[in-house]
Structure 1
Amino acid sequence: MSEAITTAQAIQGPVLAGVFLNLILLGISITQTYFFFNGSTKDKPWVKRFVVFIFFMDILNSIFGMVYMYDVLINHNGDVNAMSKSTWTFITDPISTAVIAGVVQMFFGWRVKVLTGSTIAAVVIWFFSTVQFLAGIGTGIAGVIVPEFLKFRQFTPITVIWLTGSAICDVLITLMLVQYLRKQKTGHTYSDYIVDRIIRLTVQTGMITSLVAIINVILYLATPKAYDLVFNYMLAKLYTNSLLSSLNARKTWTYSSGSRPSRDPPSRPGGSSSGRRPEEVINLAQLGNRHTRPQVFVAIESHQVVDEPHAFDGKVDPAQALDGVGSNKTGHQEEIDFNQSFASEVRAS
C-alpha cells in the first residue's frame, strides 16, 4: 500500500494537478472562442475554420486527460503497475500539444512574413515550429515504446528538443514582432498608444508559452518525479489562449477611448463638439524599400478589412508612409499599413 501511495504522489499527483489546471484554462479557451465568433463577422472563412480546428484539438486534449485520470485513479485504484505506466490516453497529451503549438506557431510565422516582408524570418520560425512538432510526436511514440514513467529519461534527447524548440520558436516570434512594431512609432499620440498596447500583448502571450516550456524541460531534467507534467498539461491551453487573445484584442481597441493617455488633447480645433472619438485607422507601413504589394487596411473603429491592391506604387518611403501619404487623413487620423492577407491580425501582444 505504501508503494502505491509513493507512486501516486510522485507520478499521478503532478498529472492530476496538471489536468486540473488544464481544465481551468479550457474554461478560458471556451470564453475566448465565444468572444471570437461573437465579434468576428469580418474575418475570412479560413480564419474561422482555423480557430475551430484549434478549439477542437483543445477539447480533445482535455477529454483524454480526464479519461486517463479516471482510468488510473478509479478503474485501477491502488494498482501500482497501472499507476506506473502510461496509456494511449496519456500519450495523446504530448501529441496534441505538439500539434496545437505547431499550427499556432506557423500561423504567427505567417504573420511575421506578411507584416515584415521577411521570408527568411518566417522560414526560421517555421523550421523551429516543425522541429518541435516532430519531436513532440516522437515523444508520444517513445512513451508507447517505453511506457514506464520512471524510464522516461531514456528518451531525454527528443523530449528536450521538443520543449526547447517550442520555447525558441516562441521567443523568436515575440522578438521579431516587437522589433518590427517598435519601428512603427510615428510620434503621434494615438497611433503610438495602440502600438504600445500591441507590443505589450505580444510580449505577454509569447513569453508565457516560452517560459512554461522552459520550466517544463528544467523540471524534466532536474527530478525523476513527474513534476514537469504539471506544466506539460498546461501548454496546449496556453497556445490556444495565446492565439485567441491575439485575435480578440482587435475588438478591444475599439473601446480604448476611455483609457486614452492623459496627455491627449481633449479636442481639436474645428473638431466635432459631440465628444465622440474620431475614427482611427492604424496602418503599420512597410519599412525599407520594397516592391509594391497589395495592402490590407485595418480600421480600429470598425474592424473591417478592405483589400486595396497596389495602394502604393513603386517604393515606399518609411517616414511618409507612416505619416499617411496616399490617404486623406487629418490631425489624428493616422494609418499603419498591413500587408495583404494579414487579415486584420497583428499579433497583438
Structure 2
Amino acid sequence: MGSPPTPRRCMSRYRSRKPDSLTLCSRLGPYYFGVILNTFLYGILVIQALYYYQNYKNDKIWLRVFVMYLFLVESLNTALCVAMIYQPLVQQYNTDLPVSRFPTLLPSQPFLEAAIFVPVHFFYAWRILVIMGNFLAPILICTASLTSLIGAAWTSIIVSEVGGYASKPKIDHTALVWSCSAAAADIIITTSLIWSLQLKKTGVRRTDDLINRIVRNSIQTGGLTVTFTVLDVALFVALPNSTLSFVFDFAIPKLYSNSLISTFNGRLPVRSEAVNLGSTGPVNANNMLFLETHQHDGASTSIVFNHSCYPEDGDILALRTIQEEDSNSSTAVDGLSDVSGVKDAPREPITP
C-alpha cells in the first residue's frame, strides 16, 4: 500500500499549472470591468428608486410594485455579479481554473437579465400602443422580447452544462438568439417613440421646438441602451473566443431599469417645461411616453403629456398653444386641465 497523499501533493494536484498573466487578464479583465460598471449603475439605480418613492407616493400600487420588483431583481443581479467575480479572483487564485472554467454563477446572468428586460419591453410596448394606437410595433416588440427570453433561458442551461471555455461554441447560437432579439426590441422601441413624436408635430413653431428637443434627448437616452446591446452582439460575434462582450453585457440590465425609472421620475420636470415653452433647459426625453395631441376648433392645438395611467387622481397636463392668426395675435399656455378631479392651476399669460 502506498502512503496517503500529503497536503502538499493535494495542493499541487489542485493547482495543476499556473496560467500566464496575459491569458488571465484577457479572460478575467472583461468580467472585472463589467462588474464594476454594473455596480456603478446600481448605485445610480438606488438613488433613482429612492427619489421615486419619496416623490410619487400617489402612483397606482401596481406601478410602485413594478419599481420595487425591478429594484429587487437588480439588487440580486449585482450581488451575484460580485460573488461571481470573487470566485476566479480569490477562491481560484493561482490556478488554471479561471481561464478554463466558467464562473459557477455565470449561468444566472442570462436568466436575471431576461427577468429585467422582458417586463421593461412589455411596458414600453404598452405605452407605444397607447400613443400610436397601432398594434404593429407593440407586437414586434413583445415577439422579439419573448424570443430573447427563450434564448436567455436556454443559454443559462447550456452554460451550466458545458462549464468551460473549450465548449463555448455550443453556446453561440442560443446566445445570439438572446442578444439579437433583445437588441431588435430596443431598436424598435427607440425608433417607434421617435416616429410617433414626429407624427405629433403641429406646425406651431414653439410646440415643434419642444418636440424636436424631446426627440434629440430620446436619441441620447434610448440610444445608449441600443448601443450597449449592439456592441454586446458585435463583440460576441467578432471575437468568439474572447470575454470582451461581458463589459457591456453586465451593464445592460441596469440601463433598462435606470432608463425606465427615470421616465417615472421625469414627470414633474416636464410640467414646468410644458408650462414655459420659452425655456431652453433640457427636457426629459422619456416623457415622450406620455405625449398625446388633440386638435381643436380653429387654429388651436393641444400637446398633452398624459400621466393618467400612473397617479391615482388621473393627472393630465395639457399644453395648449394657439397659433397666430395675424401679426398682433398672442400665444398663451394653459395650466393643468380639470381632468379626473385635478383642479386647474392658476393661469398667467406667458409672453414670448
Same fold (TM > 0.5): yes
Q: TM-score, normalised by structure 1?
A: 0.74
Alignment of 1:285 onto 2:286: no
Q: How does 1:86-105 map to 2 (within 5 A)?
A: 86-105=102-121
Aligned residue number for residue 174 of structure 1 = 190
Q: What CA distance in whole angstroms lies between the structure 2 residues aligned with 1:192 and 1:43?
A: 30
Q: 1:332 to 1:322 in 2, by over 3 A?
A: closer
Taking structure 1 as reference, are residues 106 and 304 closer, same or farther at Cα in structure 2, changes over 3 Å only? closer
Judge conservation of contact 1:190–1:332 (CA < 8 Å) in 2. Answer: no
Cross-structure match for 2:251 = 234
Counterpart of 2:94 in structure 1 is 78
TM-score, structure 2 normalization: 0.74
* 2-structure distance, mates of 1:16, 1:55: 22
Task: For residue 190 of structure 1, report the CA deviation from its aligned partner.
Answer: 5.5
Measure, in 1, the Cα distance between the counterparts of 2:64 and 2:36.
28
Letter in 2 for 1:332: V
User: How do 1:136-147 and structure 2 match up within 5 A?
Assistant: 136-147=152-163
Alpha-carbon distance in structure 2 between the residues aligned to 1:127 and 1:283: 25
1:198-237 equivalence runs, <5 A: 198-223=214-239, 224-237=241-254
Give the SS at the match of 1:90: coil
Does the 8 A contact of 1:4 with 1:80 survive in 2?
no
- Which residue matches 1:333? 334
Q: What is the rounded CA distance, in whole Å, between the counterparts of 1:162 and 1:23 in structure 2?
A: 23
- Corresponding residue number in structure 2 for 1:151: 167
Equivalent residue, structure 2, for 1:25: 41
Q: CA separation in 2, counterparts of 1:121 and 1:335?
A: 31
Alignment partners' CA distance in 2, 1:82 and 1:114: 49
> Which residue of the other structure, out of 22, 29, 32, is the alignment partner of 1:13?
29
For the 8 Å contact 1:26–1:58, the answer to whether it is kept is yes
**Is the Cα–Cα contact under 8 Å of residues 193 and 261 in structure 1 kept in the other structure?**
no
Query: Residues 323 and 335 of structure 1 are in contact (CA less than 8 Å); yes or no, is this contact kept in structure 2?
Result: no
Q: What value does the CA root-mean-square deviation take over the aligned residues?
A: 3.2
Establish whether residue 123 from structure 1 lines up as the match of residue 139 from structure 2.
Answer: yes
Q: Match of 2:75? A: 59
Structure 1 181/306 Cα, relative in aligned 2: closer, same or farther at 3 Å? farther
Q: By how many angstroms is 1:189 displaced?
A: 5.5
Write the distance in 2 (CA, Å) between the matches of 1:137 and 1:40: 34
Q: 1:139 to 1:53 in 2, by over 3 A?
A: same
Return 5+ residue gaps in structure 2 as ranges. Answer: 1-16, 281-289, 296-303, 323-330, 340-352
CA drift of 1:297 comes to 7.0
Deviation at 1:165, TM superposition (A): 0.9
Kindly, what percent of the aligned residue pairs are identical? 25
Using a 3 Å threshold, how does the CA distance of structure 1 residues 2 and 196 change in structure 2: closer, same or farther?
same
Q: Give how far 1:170 is off.
A: 0.7
Given that 1:116 and 1:286 are in contact with CA atoms closer than 8 Å, whether structure 2 keeps it comes out as no
- 2:19/2:95 contact within 8 Å kept: no
Q: In 2, distance between residues paired with 1:18 and 1:89?
A: 15
Structure possessing the higher relative contact order (Cα contacts under 8 Å, 6 or more residues apart): 1
**Uncovered stretches (5+) of structure 1, i.e. residues with no partner:** 264-281, 288-295, 309-320, 325-329, 339-349
Distance in 1, Cα, partners of 2:205 & 2:265: 23
Equivalent in the alignment of 1:347: none
The more displaced of 114-123 and 167-176 is: 114-123
C-alpha displacement of 1:192:
3.7
CA distance in 2: counterparts of 1:136 and 1:21, whole angstroms: 21
Partner SS for 1:237: helix
Distance in 2 of aligned mates of 1:31 and 1:100:
18
Confirm or deny: 8 A CA contact 2:321 2:333 kept in the other structure.
no
Go from structure 1 to structure 2 and tell me whether the alpha carbon gap of 1:85 and 1:259 turns closer, same or farther (over 3 Å shift): farther
The aligned amino acid for 1:99 is A
The CA deviation at 1:285 is 2.9
For residues 297 and 181 of structure 1, do their structure 2 counterparts lie closer, same or farther at Cα, with a shift above 3 Å needed?
closer
Measured after TM superposition, the shift of residue 244 of structure 1 is 1.3
> What is the CA distance between 1:87 and its match in structure 2?
3.8
Deviations 1:269-320 (A, max 9, x none): xxxxxxxxxxxxx861379xxxxxxxx97479xx966559xxxxxxxxxxxx
| Corresponding residue to 1:249 among 266, 275, 286 | 266
Equivalent residues of 1:213, 1:231 under 8 A apart: yes
- How far 1:172 sits from its partner (Å)? 0.6
Deviation at 1:225, TM superposition (A): 1.6
Distance in 1 (CA, whole Å) between partners of 2:269 and 2:96 is 51
Q: 1:106 & 1:82 partners in 2: Cα distance?
A: 37
Q: Tell me which structure has the larger Cα radius of gyration.
A: 2
In 1, Cα distance between equivalents of 2:141 and 2:23: 39
Which runs of structure 2 are paired with 1:294-313 in the superposition (5 Å)?
298=306, 306-307=313-314
**Segments of 4+ moved more than 6 angstroms:** 321-324
